[in-house]
Structure 1
Amino acid sequence: MNEIEERYEAAKKRYEAIGVDTEKALEKLQEIKISMHCWQGDDVNGFLNPDGELTGGIMATGNYPGAARTPDELREDLNKAYSLIPGKHKLNLHAIYLDTDEAVDLNEIEPKHFSKWVDWAKEKELGLDFNPTFFSHPMMKDGYTLAHPDKEVRDFWIEHGKRSRKIAEYFGKELGQTCIDNFWMPDGMKDNPIDRYSPRKRLMESLDEIFSEEIDERYTQDAVESKLFGLGAEAYTVGSHEFYMGYGLTRDKLICLDAGHFHPTEFISNKLSSLALFSKGIMLHVSRPVRWDSDHVVLMDDELQEIGKEIVRNDLLDKTNIGLDFFDATINRVAAWVVGTRNTQKALLKAMLEPIEKLKDMELDFDFTSRMVYTEELKDFPYSDVWNYFCYKNNVPVGLDWLTEVRQYEKDVLSQR
């Protein structure tokens, strides 16, 4: 028995003493698929028009060397990241990450333009999620896409949305895993509007047209994502939380909560239990805002841990799709993926290692003293020894060892670009 196994056995006994089965927790964690986002690897440029200017509230800052320039380079980087993350997961693609030699615009994309991604996902035993790209394009006019008053503009984006759903359906059929197709658009105004109602009505009607065709939900499910504000839309965002909560509930869609898309004093962890009561399901974009929706790499901070607790304590794993959304061009991009994904897994594991039923009984008995003492003592329990054992069982590096591999990859591959 090596040191990792010895420390795990000791931790296992400590958790057993408070009624927690670490083996069951690890079995459950093994089944959870995190949808890792592709756009960390190339600073959200994509391959539709790699030289195009980012617009629509999208901003990646920094110039760290080694950004992926082609789909093959991006897949190479993803392979390295997945090799350092325990478990089998999903990749979240944006429409601008098509892989084709054909000159094609967003309103012309087809499944064939993503076939290489499907072949790769099959080889790596990964699932795929999808996102239409409603930004960084000349047809995003005057800060609007689906809510634009010009029908020609709306029609372009409606066609893009319809085609994106067919691509998501293709992913689901080919890979045998439901593809979540998440719709977010940055429509809004920089200063105070006179008419907030009409753009929202146009957005509602445009989305209704996109979703008019029924698609078998074994293959794909639609999600809609809100935002408080963005660059260029500081005063008014058409697709607010209230808009999409109403739309999702009345149209039977998944509702996407992005950790950075709310007021700095709001937290999505506190919204999960309410939405779970009324919605069909939830899509998460786990991110880290720093004073605004800046999409920083996910750290093991209080909110990430609260998100994990809310999902696990309320038995919402089957109703919640967990994805990531951040992009940092100031650090090694592969390291960013690994840190964010492993931290999200850690937060879920830490929640699974609570004696949840015992804690709920304390609360029902109004024994707030015991509830406080237990939750405080749990902060010192050796969850990291359980996590390290999970990595060891999955044949991925433990602790800081993975950084050595990333540094070698940076030397051999990234620095040569």
Structure 2
Amino acid sequence: MTRTIEEAYALAKQRFADHGVDVEKALTRLDSLPVSMHCWQGDDVRGFENPQGELTGGIQATGHHPGRARNAQELRADIDKAMSLIPGPKRLNLHAIYLESDVPVARDAIEPHHFAGWVDWARQQGVGLDFNPTCFSHAKSADGFTLAHQDPSIRRFWIDHCKACRHISAWFGEQLGSPSVMNIWVPDGMKDLTIDRYAPRQRLMSAIDDILSEKLNSAHHIDAVESKLFGIGAESYTVGSNEFCLGYAVSRQIALTLDAGHFHPTEVISDKISAAMLYVPRLLLHVSRPVRWDSDHVVLLDDETQAIACEIVRQQLFDRVHIGLDFFDASINRIAAWVIGTRNSKKALLRALLEPVDALKKLESEGDYTARLASLEEQKSLPWQAVWDQWCLRHDVPVGSAWLSDVRRYEQQILTQR
């Protein structure tokens, strides 16, 4: 099989060369683009603070597939299995509720040592860590407000939680030699008609200013804010809207997070990337798949996933865009969900890197839209799959769908025993 893959790759390499594309250069670039996998796919966003607690903040994980991780050891083992089936560089994105402690720890009192196990694991795996405050599924978020809460004591609790998270994030970056991107998202909003939309946004702005008041080393830590259109229980008004977060990120010159599921169904984040990059220093992307709403389905190799990857590559945003995933599906094998979604994200990046971007831009600048369209369509039928197979072979991961049998064995031996 190896010989067949290499022969196919040699032919594909020549086909792309005929179109002005250096395949080896593309693979070298692909080897420098990590995708940050999200830990919460493995346990349905339960975490270890109160794993039997109810999810709030507009978040739902549906399905009852066996094998949900119940503790950090199981979750890390599942992530190890998934990562072993995915080629190329990876990172892991953690939420604050994935701390490890023998005794209960209040969210405003979490410290780096509560995540020492994750740092040890990341160092062994050679991956970086990213981080998120968990401003949902808590008694002090029960009425739908956190950082924009009108009660100063509750607001202070969440501010202190986010401040603690920044220190943990910076510690990740310092320990692992790679900056941790920390994303602030809050579910604050109202279910029905809202009279005062201004005051909560004033409070949210002031709260985030307080959180970011301590300057941290950018070599270790990167701040980001994430908007959302609506959520369950916040259908009529979301405090941290797109306009709020874009304005905040621009005015404070921090990273803006664009989540593929956080906009109107007719909006796509691929078109927002170039616009936002004119004004913010960095972007964090949450690549997901909304179905009618922010349902966080497993990422497909669909038009929007491809368009997101193409925007990164065509505009050469490699050092300013951080790619993360955000989906969770409890109706299928959770490890398979990671593998499918992450491999698809990397396939999209590869296809984007195999475009003759300079030639396409030249055709566009010359007004030759006929040739531009013809070239783009021709790209779709070029043998990129042969290049992907070769890249998988080089990284010693299964080629094609061979990974599924490995996941099936793991499910039978490990997951069904939980």
TM alignment of 1:381-400, pairs within 5 A: 381-400=382-401
Q: Please state whether the residue corresponding to 1:107 is helix, strand or coil.
A: helix
Tell me the equivalent position of 2:239: 238
Q: Please state whether the residue corresponding to 1:87 is helix, strand or coil.
A: coil
Equivalent AA in structure 2 for residue 303 of structure 1 = E
TM-score, length-scaled by structure 2: 0.99
Q: Please state whether the residue corresponding to 1:231 is helix, strand or coil.
A: coil
TM alignment of 1:69-108, pairs within 5 A: 69-108=70-109
The offset of 1:102, in angstroms, is 2.5
Deviations 1:219-254 (A, max 9, x none): 001000000000000000000000000000111110
1:66 aligns with 2:67: yes
**Superposition CA RMSD, Å:** 0.6
User: How many corresponding residue pairs?
Assistant: 417
Distance 1:99 1:340 in 2: 27
The offset of 1:103, in angstroms, is 1.6
Distance 1:136 1:9 in 2: 52
1:4 aligns with 2:5: yes
Tell me the equivalent position of 2:402: 401
1:184 aligns with 2:174: no
Distance 2:193 2:297 in 1: 28
Tell me the equivalent position of 1:56: 57
Tell me the equivalent position of 1:137: 138
Indicate if the aligned counterparts of 1:191 and 1:235 stay in contact, CA closer than 8 A: yes
Tell me the equivalent position of 1:410: 411
Tell me the equivalent position of 1:334: 335
Q: Please state whether the residue corresponding to 2:107 is helix, strand or coil.
A: coil
Indicate if the aligned counterparts of 1:48 and 1:105 stay in contact, CA closer than 8 A: no
TM-score, length-scaled by structure 1: 0.99
The offset of 1:105, in angstroms, is 1.3
Distance 1:43 1:194 in 2: 35
Equivalent AA in structure 1 for residue 334 of structure 2 = R
Equivalent AA in structure 1 for residue 193 of structure 2 = N
The offset of 1:299, in angstroms, is 0.4
TM alignment of 1:1-400, pairs within 5 A: 2-400=3-401
Distance 1:26 1:173 in 2: 29
Identity of aligned residues (%): 58
Distance 2:307 2:60 in 1: 27
Deviations 1:344-384 (A, max 9, x none): 00001101101100000000110011001110111101101
Indicate if the aligned counterparts of 1:141 and 1:148 stay in contact, CA closer than 8 A: no
Indicate if the aligned counterparts of 1:25 and 1:349 stay in contact, CA closer than 8 A: yes
Equivalent AA in structure 2 for residue 70 of structure 1 = N
Distance 2:157 2:407 in 1: 41
Distance 2:142 2:297 in 1: 28
Indicate if the aligned counterparts of 1:259 and 1:289 stay in contact, CA closer than 8 A: yes
Distance 1:372 1:255 in 2: 32
Distance 1:154 1:302 in 2: 40
Q: Please state whether the residue corresponding to 2:393 is helix, strand or coil.
A: helix
Distance 2:343 2:100 in 1: 28
Structure 2's unaligned 5+ residue stretches are: none
Q: Please state whether the residue corresponding to 1:180 is helix, strand or coil.
A: strand
Equivalent AA in structure 2 for residue 283 of structure 1 = L
Structure 1's unaligned 5+ residue stretches are: none
